[in-house]
Amino acid sequence: MKKLLSLLVAIAMLLSLMAAATAQSPVVLTMGSWENTAAAVIQEMLDAYKEVSGIEIRFEPTQADQYNAALRLQLDNGTGPDLFYSRSYATGQELHDAGFNMNCSEIPGVLENFAPSSLEPWQADDGIVFAVPVAAVSHVVYYNSAYFEEKGLSTPETFEEFLALCEEIKAFGDMYPLANGIASEWDILECVYLGMLPNYVGGPEERALYEAGSAKMNDDKFLKSLEDFAALTKYFPDGFESVQYGDGPALMATGQAAMFIDGSWSSGTFARMYDFSDIGAFAIPAPEGFTPGMAFHPDYAIAGNSATKYPQEVKDFLAWIASPEGAQNAANHMPQGFFPMINAPITMDDELSNGILGLNEGRTLDARFIWPRMMDLYSAMRSNLDAIAKGEMTAQQAADDFAKLQADLLSK
């Protein structure tokens, strides 16, 4: 009996000890994100932070296409994550306007370590920075370099050479020149057309002219961009109307297409599909006489929840992400093809991603043309591009429609 009693006492003591231990356990923060395919890699980055700070952060991603709605609902009900991925421009700012974001302007390093143009996508009209910029993406043409070598093809320097290259591949008859299609209703606009556009329009200063209405979206530059786009669609696969975004890499991998216009974020997919040496990337070339540009798009930032129970811990993490050491760590654990936005020399060990980042050199960089101010044009522009690809609309008609949409938007 005594034995039993002492055993019970021991168990009770052990239990109370455990309870005390959990009560004093270090703070655990949560991080919401849409990046559910690379969850393991990002958790590694957060684990690395734990080693530095002792603070544990749990990565809790949701389905990418439901992230905005799910996050909004959580924040609305007071169950939001302590840290969350913030989309650039209007979508991210909407949450800030609703009061869910911590003010990041006060976080050490934010104003010093980022270029104003990098902060702008997460900056409200009153100048408050509402998230710490993390990564940008760019748009490039991937190509099967083994095939290029076999056929003696070289990567193009100008858009005219690009078209000639497509024509040459088409003449060989064994592969589609390009694997792009229009069925997913986003990549044709975001990757292909808005990827081409900086070559024609220029950088942020020129974009501002269109946003202010002093330049019209049916001027010579836009018309030329649409004519070139129309020429390019001739080299899409037969039945491109039903080719979805995911079919592109598959067509490349099965040796049915030689090139695919896509985002840098796919470099990991391509590197896994091919031996690295068989895949290359080149910038979407500018036509002769135009200044080469590149869509280098601010993709995501990390925001702090203004209603978090642990404001100091959240601020510490954001300050770390805004520091060169933190950004380097993030870069080490970022999915391939996402480029650090911090103003510091960050090295990445992935060769293909580094190569893609290197394409920025000597080019005018800008976000996707419509993202900052003209997002309302998205679906109308996309549907015009579809019509051009299907041959239902001429470049001139599409340009005139763009100008009309632009005028409607500005008169609002």
Partner 1 sequence: MRRYGAGSVHPGGFYWQWYLIPALLLYSIFMAYPMIDSVRLSLFAGTTGTRAFVGFDNYSRLFTDPLISKRFLNAFGNTWVFFAFHMLLQNVLGMMFAVVLTNRTMRGRTIYQTIVFVPCTIAVLVTGYLFKLILNPVWTGRILRDAGLAFLAKPWLGMESSALNIVSLVSVWQWVGIPTMMFIAGLQGISDDLIEAATIDGADSWKTFWKIKLPLIMPVVGMIAIMTFVSNFNAFDIVYAMETPNGAPNYATDIIGTMFYRYGVAGEHPTGIPQPGVGAAISTVIFIMLLIGVIPTLSRTRRKED
| Interface with partner 1 (CB under 8 A) | 65-69, 72, 75-76, 87, 90-91, 94, 98, 100, 181-186, 190, 237-244, 247, 251, 256, 375, 378-379, 383, 386
Nearest CB to partner 1, comparing residues 93 and 118: 93
The CB-of-90 to partner 1 minimum distance in angstroms stands at 6
What does the angle CA 247 – CA 249 – CA 254 come to, to the nearest 5 degrees? Answer: 90
The CB-of-410 to partner 1 minimum distance in angstroms stands at 18
The CB-of-68 to partner 1 minimum distance in angstroms stands at 4
Phi/psi for 97 (5° steps) reads -60, -30
Nearest CB to partner 1, comparing residues 327 and 389: 389
Nearest CB to partner 1, comparing residues 181 and 292: 181
Nearest CB to partner 1, comparing residues 158 and 397: 397
Nearest CB to partner 1, comparing residues 6 and 244: 244
The CB-of-323 to partner 1 minimum distance in angstroms stands at 30
The CB-of-241 to partner 1 minimum distance in angstroms stands at 3
The CB-of-88 to partner 1 minimum distance in angstroms stands at 10
Nearest CB to partner 1, comparing residues 189 and 302: 189
The CB-of-256 to partner 1 minimum distance in angstroms stands at 7
Tokens 């041959």, residue located: 391
Q: CA dist 378 to 189, 372, 373, 383, 406, Å? A: 8, 12, 11, 9, 11
294 and 81 in contact (C-beta within 8 Å)? no
Q: How many CB atoms lie within 10 A of CB 232?
A: 23
Nearest CB to partner 1, comparing residues 173 and 345: 173
